[in-house]
Amino acid sequence: MLKIEILTAGDSAILIEFGKEISPEINRKITAIVQLIKEQQIEGIVDTIPAFCSLLVNYDPRIISYEKIVERMRQLVKVDVMAEVGEKRIIEIPVCYGGDFGPDIETVAENAKMSREEVIKLHSSKDYLIYMLGFLPGFSYLGGLDERLHTPRLANPRIKINAGSVGIGGSQTGIYPLDSPGGWQLIGLTPVKTYDPNREVPILFEAGDYIRFVPIDEAEFYRIKELANKGEYQCIVHEGGV
């Protein structure tokens, strides 16, 4: 049974802690609570920010008091919502691996004592749960990277990593949504804009979704990139975990 604590986080936020363990079960509980909060439409709640084992709830103290927000959250976290969480939503992300698109794939392969092709096959063979978004707008922290692909970060981080870069940093893998500095080992590049401020919904996915990396060749990369630049590319989305 989860030991859930509600803590003060400044004068306009509370932090709900769901233990210390990072697990899909806790993530599903947090995702379900977020959905329940949205459905309740509690006046005064400004935002909800899920993390690995916690949920930050920002509220407007002029509308709802600290005592009332805490009491509402205490009631919500008692609700058995695990069964109410829908089937998983999987977003396919096309990736061109290796070469100029993934300059560190040989390093990852050497560290794993695998061939480049084996790294690609293993990295794209499973669906990765998005535990949380952070660091940059739309930067996804993914769980489930095969231990054989765990690779130390770069000793000297790059000053600039291109948006769309797919990398491995320690035990995690993810996609850089914007150009930024970074120290992850880059193994590929997606032509998809996972974050686009001009889109109606800027971030392509949310915590609780899954990402499935799909290998593509260079020709397909540029075909999709052209469509994405025009706003005409739609990622394949599986509802129900297919």
Query: What is d(CA 1, CA 231) in angstroms, rounded to the nearest whole number?
Result: 46
The confidence score (pLDDT) of residue 81 equals 60
The confidence score (pLDDT) of residue 86 equals 53
- What pTM does this model have? 0.75
Which CATH class for the 5-78 domain? alpha beta
The confidence score (pLDDT) of residue 1 equals 58
Q: Look up residue 152 and give its two tokens.
A: 């130390």
The confidence score (pLDDT) of residue 241 equals 59
**What are 127-186's pLDDT values in tens digits?**
998 888 877 788 888 888 999 999 999 999 999 999 999 999 998 899 999 999 999 999
The confidence score (pLDDT) of residue 32 equals 82
The confidence score (pLDDT) of residue 83 equals 41
State which residues of the chain have pLDDT below 50.
83-85
Please name which of 212, 211, 161 lies closest in space to residue 189, comparing C-alpha atoms. 161
The confidence score (pLDDT) of residue 87 equals 63
The confidence score (pLDDT) of residue 22 equals 78
Q: Which residues contact 58 (CB under 8 A, 6 or more apart)?
A: 12, 13, 45, 46, 47, 48, 49
Query: What is d(CA 147, CA 217) in angstroms, rounded to the nearest whole number?
Result: 26
The confidence score (pLDDT) of residue 242 equals 56
Q: 88-240 falls under which CATH superfamily?
A: Cyclophilin-like (2.40.100.10)
Q: Which residues contact 120 (CB under 8 A, 6 or more apart)?
A: 97, 98, 105, 187, 188, 215
Contact 159, 183 (CB under 8 A): no
Enumerate the domain spans of the chain: 5-78, 88-240
Phi-psi region of 102 (alpha: psi -120 to 50; beta: other; left: phi over 0): beta
The confidence score (pLDDT) of residue 239 equals 84
